[in-house]
Chains A and B, each alone.
Chain A
Amino acid sequence: NAGVTQTPKFQVLKTGQSMTLQCAQDMNHEYMSWYRQDPGMGLRLIHYSVGAGITDQGEVPNGYNVSRSTTEDFPLRLLSAAPSQTSVYFCASSPRGTRADTQYFGPGTRLTVL
């Protein structure tokens, strides 16, 4: 099992550009989520999905879109990048998304917006 994979590892964008961060898992997990990590702020939930075709907003959804057409994939789209979106982005999955579940994290994407 590859677990949770994310691409790219690093990305530099100019303000206003759009891009998609890819996330895939091969563990047949129902629940997937996107977090951003900023120094001194822990992880903040952007969007999450409890199954294919179902997505919902987290704590900081503005400026981001998601879709979940398959169980395996959960891409995150930045519509018009802003410097405030400079961060490290983590995708995570868990078997059912229940409150006792362990979350499995990808290696992260480090994004810089100039």
Chain B
Amino acid sequence: AQSVTQLGSHVSVSEGALVLLRCNYSSSVPPYLFWYVQYPNQGLQLLLKYTTGATLVKGINGFEAEFKKSETSFHLTKPSAHMSDAAEYFCAVSNVDSNYQLIWGAGTKLIIKP
């Protein structure tokens, strides 16, 4: 069965520090990969997605992620954290095996320390 694993339910970084949120997936066929962000008491919104082509994907608010097929990973990074980045981040995958439905990770709550 397909799955998405996000390492760490909570990640804490200092303002200005590098943000790294990890996502690993299991898929026997080429995946489509997504990162969504959920700000407190709001719905989710797309940060970025990988479909085909360039494996380094840039998203909104300075975030980017790199698809590494050999590592089955799609980690999310941002060079310098801002207080406004405090939110919960979800990784998701879809492919033909999932009947095009999204398979979601459990989420990682990003905490920014002043």
Residue pair B44, A105 in contact (C-beta under 8 Å): yes
Chain A residues touching B, range:
20 to 34
**A34 within 8 Å of B by Cβ?**
no
Q: Is the interface of A mostly helix, strand, loop or mixed?
A: loop
Give Cα distance in the complex from A41 to B64, angstroms. 24
B101 at the interface (CB under 8 A from A): yes
Q: Give the bracket for the number of chain B residues in contact with chain A.
A: 20 to 34
State whether B9 touches A40 (Cβ < 8 A): yes
> Which of these binds chain A: B11-19, B68-76, B104-112?
B104-112
Of all chain B residues, the one with the shortest Cβ separation from A3 is: B43
Residues in A neighbouring B104, C-beta threshold 8 A: 42-44
Q: How many A-B residue pairs have CB under 8 A?
A: 53
Question: Within the complex, what minimum Cβ distance (angstroms) separates A25 from chain B?
Answer: 12
* Chain A residues near B44 (CB-CB < 8 A): 43, 90, 92, 103, 105
Give the most central of B4, B51, B104: most A CB within 10 Å: B104
A106 contacts chain B at the CB level, 8 A cutoff: yes
Could you tell me which residues of chain B, from 1 to 60, have a CB within 8 Å of some CB in chain A? 4, 9, 32, 34, 36, 41-46, 49, 51
Q: Which residues of A contact B (CB under 8 A)?
A: 4, 40-45, 48, 58, 90, 92, 97-100, 102-108
What are 20 contact pairs spanning A and B, CB under 8 A? A4-B43, A40-B9, A40-B107, A42-B106, A42-B107, A44-B104, A45-B101, A58-B101, A90-B43, A97-B100, A99-B32, A99-B98, A100-B49, A102-B49, A103-B44, A103-B46, A104-B45, A105-B45, A107-B42, A107-B43
